[in-house]
Amino acid sequence: MTVIYFTDGALIDDVLVRRSLLRIPEIISELKMSQIEFVDSDLFLAMNESDAYQQLNYHQQKHLKKILQNGLYQRWLKNKIEPELIIKRTDYLRTDDLVSVFQRLSTIDALNIVTIGPGFDEIESLLRLQLKVCTNPLQDVILRDPHLNWFWTDIKSQIQLHS
């Protein structure tokens, strides 16, 4: 069973991640289509500069995260693998409810969870530690893409160094 899990997108707050996402054609397309929704803001500038991103209000930042995640999902769909289930972190007000869903899913033998984050959130540690998932069902959408994975490992190591 393939499950798409849209994380909270917290890594998007990092300027290195945003700059790296600009390497993805589907992200660029989504940004171009959505620019009109951001009055007096340049999305490409916000992707490249911390100050410009911080000038976006809370709702604009959340919307930008959704736009970027949608671009990653559009890229995923080009793999021609239809997910059986899509879970969005934003649909759960309480973390306990989300944990309950993943607890039930963890009993499935052929479970593959592809995160649209980029990256993971605390659900990864829940599945690996608390639920003792033995196999490696968690995959980041960027790492899974052979045309993108070449830069993502380096970006993740840089994030850990400067964050």
Overall pTM surpassing 0.75 (yes/no): yes
Which range of residues forms the domain containing residue 118?
A: 2-162
Amino acid at 120: F
Domain count for the chain, please give it: 1
Task: For residue 2, list its beta bridge partners.
Answer: 112
pLDDT of residue 159: 66
Tokens for 15? Answer: 């300027």
Is residue 162 predicted with pLDDT exceeding 90?
no
CA distance 52 to 41: 8
| Sheet strands (E) in 59-137 | 85-88, 112-116
Coil/strand/helix, residue 84:
coil
Of 163 and 11, the one with more pLDDT: 11
Cβ within 8 Å of residue 137, ≥6 positions away: 111, 112, 113, 127
Give tens-digit pLDDT for 65-121: 999 999 999 999 988 888 999 999 999 988 889 988 988 888 888 888 889 988 778
Of 40 and 109, the one with more pLDDT: 40
